[in-house]
Amino acid sequence: MRRLGSLPVLLAPAVLILVTALLATQASVSTESYFVDTLVKVTIVVALYAFIGNSGVLSFGHISFVALGAWTAGVLTVPASEKPAIMPGLFHVLRTTNVGNVPSLLLAAVAGAVFALVVGLPLMRLSGLAAGIATFAVLEITHNVLSYYEKIGPGVNAFSSVPETTGVWQAAIGALIATVVAFAYQRSRMGRQLRAAREDPAAASAAGISIYRQRLVAFVLSGALAGFAGGLYIHLLPLTNNTVYLDLTFLTLAMLVVGGVTSLLGAVVGALAVSALDSFLSAAENGVTIAGGHLDLPAGTGLVVVGALMALVLIVRPSGLTGGRELRIPRRRS
Amino acid sequence: MLATIQITWQNLSDGVALGGLYALMAIGIGLVFGVLRLVNFAYGQLVMAGAFALAFGSQWGLPRWVSVLFCFGVVLALSVLMDRLVFRPLRGKSPAVMLVATFAVAYLLQSIALLWFGPLGKSATQFATLNAPWTIGGVLIRQVTVITVVVTVVCLLALRLLLDHTSVGLHMRAASLDFATARLLGVRANRVIGGAVIVSGVFAAIVAIFLTVTNPQVTPDFALHDTIVVLAGVVLGGLNRPLPATLGGFAIGFMSGVLGGALPTNQSQYLPAFVFTAVILVLLVRPNGLFTRGRGAVERV
């Protein structure tokens, strides 16, 4: 029975993702894009969770892995005939190499992992505020370099002409893969060691756990997931470097915090709840009719409400909607 | 590559001015951190609100001193409101939760500004005349540069006096050393925190005035980037005490100011990357700050 007891931990988020995908197939073409976008956000938030949730260390830098993944997948899938027009300054190798949809997603994950390894090797020694600021610095550096270094991408222009292969099912399968990986990791020996170190660093290192090594493992794994999510994202819509910067960092962190930082279920629930609210509000900014009444909000209301909600959740219920707990079948006493 | 840099007196004076402004912001952030252990990410939005107040001042054609008063009023009201509504309920929560919460407040304020004033914002032109240069020793230096440096020095001295020679200052220093013990000894928490919040608000308003001189177009993301840089500087210097935090803010502002002017455009576009790489390198060597003594306490097991 011990094995069955932990099954809901994986099943609950997976079912939520599948339900979202099924709802998306029933929706009209215009609302479908909101659902697909939501599923990509779920993938990003699960990636964030894999590191922040398990280690308890804050990272503002994960969106730079998403950005690098997006750039990798984008550069390698724009049709060769259109590359000179969109990205004239590209490296020769990148100009002549083209891969398909699935390889581009895998390479995006590899790019995210390698970047996270390079960054994590020095940074995982830090914790607390220094870690927060240093990961923020990583985000700033990545954004700055992607904006101006036109040998690896379109610079400040939009990443147009990337094949739009991320439909409902690609997004749903992507989110499921991320969820399964995060689940397998948190149940593994390494995941448990890291969670122990989160609860009590002193006791964990006394028990022989290398906190630095476990954090690095989680960082690289979550960098891979974030890069993968970036690949999904660029196949959804033409991103610019500003799409994968502060706003997305804020939104995904808000999702994680609103759901509950320390559980996989919290990551998925938070991403779905905030996305639903955000999508509804951005639809309402263009005017919607609901329950007989017409609602027409001024542009920008979405961020105001999400910001207020996040502050409110942090004040009233700092452990998030799920309380940071997974769904479990209550045990019968024996 | 570095050999091509020509540093002029102009560059140096720009660096000193930007360093001064960042030092003021650094104290604003450092003081609140001292008493609340809270890194206020929303500090830049206080500056932004003050800048919008100045923009309305010029739109309504108010006299300069009324605009300045209005700016101070708006920033101080907002600081106190932020303390009451957000900081107070969060007291004693983990630093990560508080950092994320102020991150949320920053976004909330920024999106409210976006909602009310639009992405293009408004222009605050009342103090633009301070851009005119003075000739000092054969070097042309903008008036605002000199005034910024003078005001920064005066503010630092005034703060020193406040911290060293008034009872509220003494309470603040005691509270930032050990809040719990200070309370036991009769320091009133709300008064000390209120004092720190107000002083940091005053500095935010001053920064708003000077920033609108060089950058009169006030947009919702006004001072956002500056805040990120200053936060990095404050952590670099060392958050625990006012002086290291101030020095950290000054150092990073000076470095950005000098390099921003001296580097050719094809290199200065990568300035943020240089600055933040430097930040990471310093944090790796001295995670507790550049200008602090001793190592941080690591629990031995």
**Which has the minimum average pLDDT: A80-89, B122-131, B236-245?**
B236-245
Confidence band for A323, pLDDT divided at 50, 70 and 90: confident
**Which has the minimum average pLDDT: A116-120, B119-123, B261-265?**
B261-265
The verdict on residue B115 lying in a domain is yes
> A160: helix, coil or strand?
coil
pLDDT of residue A334: 53
Of A144, A205, A250, the CB nearest to B272: A144
Q: Helices marked H in chain A — which ranges?
A: 2-5, 7-26, 29-55, 62-77, 83-86, 92-96, 101-123, 128-148, 168-187, 189-199, 201-206, 211-234, 246-259, 264-285, 301-316
Section A216-240 average pLDDT: 95
Contact assignment for A300 to B96 by CB distance below 8 Å:
no
Asked if the model's pLDDT at residue B295 lies above 70, the reply is: no
Q: Closest Cα partner for B217 from B78, B106, B119?
A: B119
pTM: 0.90
CB B83 within 8 A of CB B194: yes
Of B105, B269, B273, the CB nearest to A311: B105
Give residue B109's domain range.
20-133+143-228
Section B269-287 average pLDDT: 88
Contact assignment for A206 to B100 by CB distance below 8 Å:
no
Other Cβ atoms within 10 Å of A322 Cβ, number? 23
CB B290 within 8 A of CB B282: yes
Cβ neighbours of B86 in A, within 8 Å: 311, 315
Contact assignment for B97 to A123 by CB distance below 8 Å:
no
**pLDDT tens-digit readout, A27-74:** 888 788 889 999 999 999 999 999 999 998 889 999 999 999 999 999
Asked if the model's pLDDT at residue B203 lies above 90, the reply is: yes
CB A258 within 8 A of CB A265: no
Q: Which helix (H) or strand (E) holds B142?
A: strand B139-142
pLDDT of residue B297: 45
Q: Which residue's entry shows tokens 């540069």?
A: B145
CB B102 within 8 A of CB B38: yes
Residues with Cβ within 8 Å of A109's Cβ and at least 6 positions away in sequence, in order, are A69, A224, A225, A227, A228, A231
Contact assignment for A303 to B111 by CB distance below 8 Å:
yes
Confidence band for A81, pLDDT divided at 50, 70 and 90: confident
Section B30-56 average pLDDT: 90
Section B172-188 average pLDDT: 84
Q: Which residues of B touch A (CB under 8 A)?
A: 39, 86, 89-90, 93, 95-97, 99-101, 103-105, 107-108, 110-112, 114-115, 224, 228, 231-232, 235, 239, 269-270, 272-273, 276-277, 279-280, 283-284, 287-288, 299, 301
Confidence band for A290, pLDDT divided at 50, 70 and 90: low
Contact assignment for A148 to B228 by CB distance below 8 Å:
no
Asked if the model's pLDDT at residue A266 lies above 90, the reply is: yes
Query: Could you give the percent of chain A with pLDDT greater than 70?
Result: 93
Contact assignment for A301 to B279 by CB distance below 8 Å:
no
Contact assignment for B235 to A301 by CB distance below 8 Å:
no
Q: Closest Cα partner for B160 from B176, B173, B148, B174?
A: B173
pLDDT of residue A291: 63
Confidence band for A225, pLDDT divided at 50, 70 and 90: very high
Cβ neighbours of B107 in A, within 8 Å: 250, 303, 306-307, 310
Asked if the model's pLDDT at residue B7 lies above 90, the reply is: no
DSSP codes of every residue in B118-141 = TTT-EE--TTGGGGSEEEETTEEE
CB A183 within 8 A of CB A83: no
Residues with Cβ within 8 Å of B190's Cβ and at least 6 positions away in sequence, in order, are none
Confidence band for A210, pLDDT divided at 50, 70 and 90: very high
ipTM of model: 0.86
Confidence band for A1, pLDDT divided at 50, 70 and 90: very low
Confidence band for A222, pLDDT divided at 50, 70 and 90: very high
pLDDT of residue B299: 44
Asked if the model's pLDDT at residue A209 lies above 60, the reply is: yes
User: Please, what is the average pLDDT of chain A?
Assistant: 88
Section B81-89 average pLDDT: 89
Query: Could you give the percent of chain B with pLDDT greater than 70?
Result: 94
Section B205-220 average pLDDT: 92
Contact assignment for B95 to A128 by CB distance below 8 Å:
yes
**Which has the minimum average pLDDT: A31-45, A184-198, A245-259, B2-16?**
B2-16
Contact assignment for B101 to A206 by CB distance below 8 Å:
no
Section B1-24 average pLDDT: 78
Nearest CA in chain A to B90: A315
Question: What's CA A129's distance to the chain center, in Å?
Answer: 22
Asked if the model's pLDDT at residue B296 lies above 60, the reply is: no
The verdict on residue B300 lying in a domain is no
Asked if the model's pLDDT at residue B175 lies above 90, the reply is: no
**pLDDT tens-digit readout, A308-320:** 888 888 888 878 8
